[in-house]
Amino acid sequence: MASEAQPIFDALVIGVGPAGLIIAAELCDRGLNVANLAPTAATAPWPNTYGIWVDELGSLNFPEELLEHHWRNCVSYFGTSTTQHQRDYGLFDKAKFQKYLLQRCATATWHQGKAEGIQHLDSHSIVTADSGVTADNGTTISARIVIDASGHFPALSQRPKQANVAYQAAYGVVGKFSKPPVEPGQFVLMDFRAEHLTDAERQQPPTFSYEMDLGNGIHFVEETSLAYAPAIEFDVLKGRMEKRLAARGIEIQEEQHIEHCLFPMNLALPDRGQSLIAFGGASSMVHPASGYMVGAMLRRGPELGAAIAKALQDSDASPQAIARQGWEALWDRDRLRKHYLYLFGLNALMGFEEERLNHHFSTFFSLPQSAWSGFLADTLTTQELVGAMVGMFGKAPNDVRWGLMRSVGGYGDLLWQAVAA
């Protein structure tokens, strides 16, 4: 238990992934006394590579130097149609991004260990760690509010139990290829062409290739599945990637890095009555229709940071009262509504076979850019989102319309939840 001498921090952040550092930076920026608990050092390299549309970063006033790569030539292939996105895409320089956030966290106190339990008192919460994590080798850290940012399956935050979790899975290779898989300086968001597969394989859930020129003769090619329950296995993705490359007469000559990507897309929202707050994967913030989350964390971090700082101004506020204000900032009614609409979209897509999926995406990316980019970044109002979805329905060919109507039968409850939120 906490000894008398142990301080009570304003906030304790659990985790040092992007979510942990983004929210810790927001809280430190506001002059709060922040502690952090994670099993690794805050400077330990992040394992994943993160991409983002460049204008999203610009609209957030984040320096473009945080990007390691920036592509202007961005395309997708949906069956026989080619889509020029006319929009720039970038990959974060993850070391610079992490350093940038850590600089903003200069006043934070770092503890190394695993959070195992939490107890809420009237004035603060006490988190128990797996071993000695403080200077006096204590195993507890106290704070007025705890923010769980420990990833998609969080250490402390609670959410309803759920069957049929859908995962985005991908198998990728960074390396040298016998000939370039993409044009010089090109980025391919989705290559859904599938002529290299047998008829039987084309009856299976479709997968697409995500490809980029990283410069100096290095490319990244990743066979990706949007979201399926259960997840598509890595061996299947690897086999499909090899077949796709072979059909184009391309061999892998040198594998510099293999990426195994697997994360949940449709996890239930956290329990918003709990006396702590969750952020990032722990708060189900992955965009259910795309899998992207970093932009959302950068956009919503300041709102959450401001709400926590404001709630802490009341020195009598309990963890529950502070958490309530945090949850309201993070998951207000509009966001909840949109979340259920996105989940409806995801469920519809998961039921689409190859041809229908291609028709869907070529129609989606033919919407005005403000509509498709706002949909992907979650920056539309509910009204605008409904407008974009109706516009999509109006433009789509009949097979897509029929698929969407069929989904209303199967997943209409999500539309109802969007109305009732």
Q: Could you list the residues that contact ligand FAD (CB under 6 A)?
A: 14-20, 37-40, 48, 50-51, 114-115, 149-151, 155, 259, 261, 263, 280-282, 286, 292-294
Q: How far is the CB of 264 from ligand FAD (least distance, A)?
A: 9
Q: What's the CA gap between 222 and 225, in Å, rounded?
A: 10
Other Cβ atoms less than 10 A from the Cβ of 396: the count is 20
Cα of first residue to Cα of last residue in the chain, in angstroms, is: 40
CB 149 within 8 A of CB 19: yes
Q: How far is the CB of 314 from ligand FAD (least distance, A)?
A: 28
Q: How far is the CB of 34 from ligand FAD (least distance, A)?
A: 15
Q: How far is the CB of 111 from ligand FAD (least distance, A)?
A: 9
Indicate the SS3 state at residue 403. helix
Residues counted in the chain: 421
Indicate the SS3 state at residue 217. coil
Shorter beta-carbon distance to ligand FAD: residue 23 or 414: 23
The DSSP-derived string for 104-168 is HTTT-EEEES-EEEEEE-SS-EEEEESS--STT--SEEEEEEEEE-S-SS-SS------S---EE
Q: How far is the CB of 201 from ligand FAD (least distance, A)?
A: 24
Shorter beta-carbon distance to ligand FAD: residue 116 or 332: 116
The closest residue (CB) to ligand FAD is 17
Shorter beta-carbon distance to ligand FAD: residue 310 or 335: 335
Output the CA–CA distances (angstroms, integers) from residue 210 to 170, 181, 368, in the order listed: 9, 11, 23
Shorter beta-carbon distance to ligand FAD: residue 69 or 324: 69
Shorter beta-carbon distance to ligand FAD: residue 43 or 86: 43
Q: How far is the CB of 149 from ligand FAD (least distance, A)?
A: 5
Locate all alpha helices (DSSP H) within 225-318, ordered by sequence.
234-247, 294-312
Indicate the SS3 state at residue 255. strand
Shorter beta-carbon distance to ligand FAD: residue 279 or 411: 279
Q: What's the CA gap between 290 and 307, in Å, rounded?
A: 27
Q: How far is the CB of 394 from ligand FAD (least distance, A)?
A: 30
The DSSP-derived string for 87-117 is S-EEEE-HHHHHHHHHHHTTT-EEEES-EEE
Shorter beta-carbon distance to ligand FAD: residue 122 or 233: 233
**Residue in the structure block whose two tokens are 């956009």:** 299
Q: How far is the CB of 297 from ligand FAD (least distance, A)?
A: 7
Shorter beta-carbon distance to ligand FAD: residue 94 or 202: 94
Q: What's the CA gap between 265 and 262, in Å, rounded?
A: 10
